Chain A
Amino acid sequence: MPGTEDAGLPEAPGAVPLSLCVNGKPWVLQIDPRTSLLDALREHLHLTGTKKGCDHGQCGACTVLVNGRRINSCLSLAVMHEGDEISTIEGLGSPEALHPMQQAFIDHDGFQCGYCTPGQILSALAVIEEIKAGIPSHVTADLNAPPPLSASEIRERMSGNLCRCAAYPNIIAAIQDVSGIPS
């Protein structure tokens, strides 16, 4: 494939071939089947924006979008993602041209140490899309009506992203801002 980059690591015994598209860029790599999608991104493709908190699906720091849907990349094997489109924080904006969600996290002081932030931002973008797509949540009162784009819906849907610095109120304010909900 033209423009495809080889991650160029020495071939480990038992490694299998894998092609992935990350932030629009195709990659081919040879990978030990044990490698999580998170480790493939961080250790093989050197995209260290996606963070490892718990490595057990409990904290959300490793949230990425796979074919547009958010998942915990620590609880998925890279080899299960042959041909998938992955979006990480590196694909969203640049320091010169931040994505509106990145800007909103800065404007609202939505972080302290920043470790959870890439996962929070990817999750937040997916939450807005999930609400628009009519996917209900635990706090949706009427299952047969479209869920409202509200602060309580956002709060419930963000519960899989922990923040050890407890920046929660400001994270919610940032997401509300981008969603156009008055705070």
Chain B
Amino acid sequence: MKSFTYERANTAAEAVAAVAAMPGAKFIAGGTNLLDLMKLGIEAPVHLVDINRLGLDAIEPTEAGGLRIGAMVRNTDLAADARVRRDYAVLSRALLAGASGQLRNKATTGGNLLQRTRCAYFYNTDMPCNKRSPGSGCAAVGGLSHNHAVMGVSDACIATHPSDMAVALRALDATVEVISAKGSMRMIPIADFHRLPGDTPHLETNLQANEMVTAVILPRPVGGTHIYRKVRERASYAFANIAVAMIVREGKAARLALGGVAHKPWRVEAAEDAPAEGIADIVLAGARPTADNAYKLDLTRRTIAACLGDAS
């Protein structure tokens, strides 16, 4: 691992100022993704600002009747929160379907949103990858792509976003609260938080340089039956091949977001409340699968149908 200097920040303002003060600095939260990538030389920050002791670890009610989840709330604690289990069950279910107990104890709300792709070529520094080294090419196009994206892909990158939590947040219309180095706050709707790869797959979110996530805000509960169905190659402890987050009301998919199919959680609002037979055609319109991952289209259709079945 490349050497770096380390500092522990005490407030959010101090943390953003510290990262802004040193080019090549990064925040470290749980470290479960960043350290993995640093060990492989894929990330090489020169300075780490530890944000574990900022106190952004509360889940509080908002005036609008929703919840404000601090960026440092651990995945275990978010999934176990009684209000989340009761009113936002799709979020608990998505979190519990991800990683392991040990990792969820460490992984944070902010870090989970910002975790990087699991594309094997991104991890293999001997292979070309536009996300890891812009302009080098994409080894997955024409390579092994059975777990790559089918929606919103570009010629530059066909990677997926691996987060389960983000898929549930998309279905719930969450908002991401961020603070800039100057101390100003802004709100980013989850729909606009992650980007499609386009020509710039190395840019994964619309977070600006040195901005830090301080919280994720959930709007007031929408009721309904909450379902998160993750299809993977083992019964537990594996990333999704595809995942469906659905909120069913009156027999219809009132909210629907997909994981494992795109560079961001995939939601097409026009599919919601559509007749059951038509939903998949609308969400999957424009799909561009490879020969290896065309199975994801059928799997998604069937999983959407299974979710509707679960709720009836």
* Residues of A bordering B, CB below 8 Å: 14, 16, 32-34, 36, 55-57, 60, 63, 69-72, 75-77, 79-80, 82, 123, 126-127, 130, 133-138, 140, 143-144, 156-157, 159-161
Contact = CB atoms under 8 A, between A and B. Distances in A.
10 contacts: A33-B6, A55-B39, A63-B102, A75-B32, A75-B103, A76-B106, A82-B8, A135-B76, A143-B89, A161-B100
Interface centre among B28, B80, B93 (most CB of A within 10 A): B80
A11 B32 CA distance: 28
A14 B3 contact: yes
B96 interface: yes
A79 B80 contact: no
Interface of B: 1, 3-6, 8, 28, 30-32, 35-36, 39, 48, 50, 52, 76, 79-80, 85-86, 89, 92-93, 96-97, 99-103, 105-106, 235-237
A70 B80 CA distance: 16
Contact of A136 (B4, B31, B80): B80
B100 A159 contact: yes
A70 B102 contact: yes
Given A56-B36, A56-B39, A143 B92 contact: yes
Q: What is the interface of chain A mostly: helix, strand, loop, or mixed?
A: loop
A71 B76 CA distance: 11
B105 A71 contact: yes
Nearest to A56: B36
B96 A75 contact: no
B92 A136 contact: yes
A159 B234 CA distance: 10
Contact of A80 (B1, B28, B85): B28
Contacts of B35: 36, 75-77
A160 B237 contact: yes
A79 B97 CA distance: 30
A55 B105 CA distance: 17
Nearest to A119: B102
Contact of B6 (A77, A138, A160): A77
B145 to A, nearest CB: 22
Contact of A34 (B3, B30, B50, B79): B3
A79 B5 CA distance: 11
Given A16-B6, A143-B92, A156-B236, A134 B80 contact: yes
A161 B236 CA distance: 11
Contacts of A69: 76, 105
Nearest to B228: A138
A181 B6 CA distance: 46
Nearest to A62: B102
B161 to A, nearest CB: 18
A156 B96 CA distance: 10
